[in-house]
Structure 1
């Protein structure tokens, strides 16, 4: 189930917008003057699908509609005036072909402290306009609808975030230099109030570096578990292996070479440790029928072990390719202990290189790294990703390359993208992907 169009009426009491999504190219770019509601559209959409109803309450609009590719559609209607004159009610209408419409009223009762209600009424938020039934919890059909649409918002403010129960606070050697000394001292003051169980204010690039290290460690543990299981049963499976006359010696050698190449690539991106004894050469005279059987079992086992890394290795490789093509005089590598590892590249001499913390990167480099990491590692397949102002702090050359990089990522991660931007450099010659937000007709 995919979203094919969103529309709004009465946004800020002024604007009516219709935004069809590009279903084939999977990238849609909305642009328009400041104040026309680009960010607001993303926030309303995110507020509904991620149950952040305060967004729906605070952003002024009359009606917001989401059309799906199965011909169903959803309406959010605000400021419904019922018989009790409760303000800020929100009606949710869900229409499906050949199915009775679902119409429910959501009442943010905390907005009406002067209203006289029973204790039971105060605890109820949902009201069925057809059957007059009430519900204390978010509705099952509404949860199911949201479960069918995975949506993530990447906000314009993305370099500093609050991370729950993160293992490290924003220590002096990891603080982004882009913040003023005054702001840094204020952050430190706020952190001093927190204990280790309280969410920490942390540089996003530092948090994501730690997170990637943990992902890599988890995959390595999974690799070890599978290896132990296969190694225990290896002798028995070799003994039981039937003759494999249909596999030639050359095919077997090619398979072994491919495994070594895969292993080398995984070592290069930090997922496997260097093992000097892992490579061996098989000579034609060394392969007899019994050896062939043992080696064929070995090949199957190693393929199963290394397949654990396929997805994460593909994503790391693409992240590495994009970053190293863009960052000047810096190179990114990865390790299971540290996550991101940056080194300077002033010349070819390794002795002159310097290791950098992720927070030593410029604000533009951090924006690029955070954006790419979010898209590759934080978003489920078949999601709709909302990106607000991807051009922030990016050099014009990086903006020009942005859509091309995004197309590679959407193919790999199987995503739909909706972008809000002011930058024509982001769009380049792809105006066919754009929707312009316009003012009311005078």
Structure 2
């Protein structure tokens, strides 16, 4: 059963702050605001660190207790022992409380690994883990988050990328089940570089393993569109093969009037046009749409009713992705000045410049030709629409980054459209009143000690 988070709270954050944040369960958008340094980003990182097993986040951010309450009256406490002396093995404990049941407890062990016990050269870490730079004998800089990581933290966080199977601490079933019921995704403020492993050659400079996120997402969307088109083709072949048999089996004309059939055919034509507009169908993909509404008579009713059902099944393959692409297109084209976004199965995003003088002056742009603000907006919208599974809690850190005031003003309204379509809860951290506008009812202010 999918649970929802209804409140998060922290005690002793940075040794100073105690915060409680109730989430807006009906509006599904909660905005944390407050001065810099009060812990907005830290709270998002702790929440994301727990549910996505990035436990180094829990170890590096100073706090004493973090509590997550769910909509079924259960809650999880992350209790941190601030005494880091070597005599204390377990400095983080998870307590899971459910109504009328015993408390479930799990102690998180500190990974202890000595360099002389690792059976590969430590220099391999730089090649295996994109964005990681070794800056000391036992210290690495992780560029995407600008974190300094110890060897233990590197091995814990990037275990799946390493050339060894470092046995992680086995977690209890109840903890795995809890995490599987709560989907959390963090969209960080630094989101324009997508770090991908370089598989070509060890001699390649590692800068080649850094791909702009807009380029990566453009390729990814093209692949999603191609996969849907293949699915469409498979269903079409199956239905076309059995079409004559199903027409013959339909003994009598269905209880449909000619006007109803005409309306259905017109609706299918409109759907096909919308799919062409968002790049999911080609312009010449209309060989099966040649029957005109005026051709309907009693003798063709049987065949047309089966035909209409078949085409609906074929086009339904595209319903979800087409709706998301269309919303992305509307939002982007309303915001980007003198640029227009289109889509294709081959390239994903296609941008063209808009000229007031003539269409011949328009120019095709690469996604990387967009300004940093435009790239931030495109990446954020794409992640919300295409990268996050339904019923997730999405954490957004500083969405105002690189967005001019006009876009910030529109941001919450765009977010409301996306949450309805993608079925998401949003928790965002900002210090921009332009983001909030008149929706202070959605906000929770972080205050200083004793306030």
What are the Cα deviations for residues 231-271 of structure 1, in whole angstroms up to 9, with x where unaligned? 11111111101313410111111111110110010011000
Corresponding residue for residue 122 of structure 1: none
User: Which of 227, 231, 235 matches 1:222?
Assistant: 231
Cα distance between partner residues in 2 of 1:322 and 1:280: 34
Corresponding residue for residue 290 of structure 2: 280
User: Which of 302, 325, 340 matches 1:331?
Assistant: 340
Q: Identify if the C-alpha distance between structure 1 residues 360 and 86 changes in structure 2 by more than 3 Å, giving closer, same or farther.
A: same
Corresponding residue for residue 138 of structure 2: none
1:314 aligns with 2:323: yes
Gaps of 5+ in 2: 116-155, 157-167
Corresponding residue for residue 38 of structure 1: 40
Corresponding residue for residue 267 of structure 2: 258
Moved more, 79-88 or 144-153: 79-88
1:417 aligns with 2:448: no
Aligned ranges for residues 29-428 of structure 1 at < 5 Å? 29-79=31-81, 85-86=87-88, 89-110=91-112, 136-164=169-197, 189-191=205-207, 200-275=209-284, 277-280=287-290, 282=292, 284=294, 286-347=295-356, 349-428=358-437
Cα distance between partner residues in 2 of 1:19 and 1:241: 60
TM-score (norm 2): 0.84
Cα distance between partner residues in 1 of 2:241 and 2:197: 40
Corresponding residue for residue 173 of structure 1: none
Corresponding residue for residue 8 of structure 1: 10
Cα distance between partner residues in 1 of 2:199 and 2:280: 23
Contact 1:27 1:418 in 2 (8 A): yes
Gaps of 5+ in 1: 114-124, 126-134, 168-187, 193-199
Q: Identify if the C-alpha distance between structure 1 residues 232 and 24 changes in structure 2 by more than 3 Å, giving closer, same or farther.
A: same
Cα distance between partner residues in 2 of 1:236 and 1:289: 19
Cα distance between partner residues in 1 of 2:263 and 2:79: 63
Cα distance between partner residues in 1 of 2:213 and 2:326: 21
User: Which of 429, 435, 439 matches 1:430?
Assistant: 439
State the secondary structure of the residue aligned to 2:211. Answer: strand
What are the Cα deviations for residues 263-313 of structure 1, in whole angstroms up to 9, with x where unaligned? 0100110000112545435355x4333411111111010000000000000
What are the Cα deviations for residues 210-231 of structure 1, in whole angstroms up to 9, with x where unaligned? 0000000000000000001111
What are the Cα deviations for residues 373-427 of structure 1, in whole angstroms up to 9, with x where unaligned? 0000000001000000000010100000000000000000010000000100000
Q: Identify if the C-alpha distance between structure 1 residues 287 and 71 changes in structure 2 by more than 3 Å, giving closer, same or farther.
A: same
Cα distance between partner residues in 1 of 2:240 and 2:27: 45
By how many angstroms is 1:107 displaced? 1.2
Cα distance between partner residues in 1 of 2:320 and 2:291: 28
What are the Cα deviations for residues 94-135 of structure 1, in whole angstroms up to 9, with x where unaligned? 00001111012111132899xxxxxxxxxxx9xxxxxxxxx9
Corresponding residue for residue 196 of structure 1: none
Cα distance between partner residues in 2 of 1:264 and 1:145: 44
Corresponding residue for residue 22 of structure 2: 20
Q: Identify if the C-alpha distance between structure 1 residues 165 and 367 changes in structure 2 by more than 3 Å, giving closer, same or farther.
A: same
Contact 2:106 2:172 in 1 (8 A): no
By how many angstroms is 1:189 displaced? 3.5
State the secondary structure of the residue aligned to 1:250. Answer: helix
State the secondary structure of the residue aligned to 1:60. Answer: coil
TM-score (norm 1): 0.85
Contact 1:80 1:88 in 2 (8 A): no
**Root-mean-square deviation over aligned CA pairs:** 2.2
State the secondary structure of the residue aligned to 1:110. Answer: coil
By how many angstroms is 1:89 displaced? 1.5
By how many angstroms is 1:78 displaced? 0.6
Contact 1:74 1:92 in 2 (8 A): yes
Q: Identify if the C-alpha distance between structure 1 residues 82 and 208 changes in structure 2 by more than 3 Å, giving closer, same or farther.
A: closer
Contact 2:219 2:347 in 1 (8 A): yes
State the secondary structure of the residue aligned to 1:99. Answer: coil
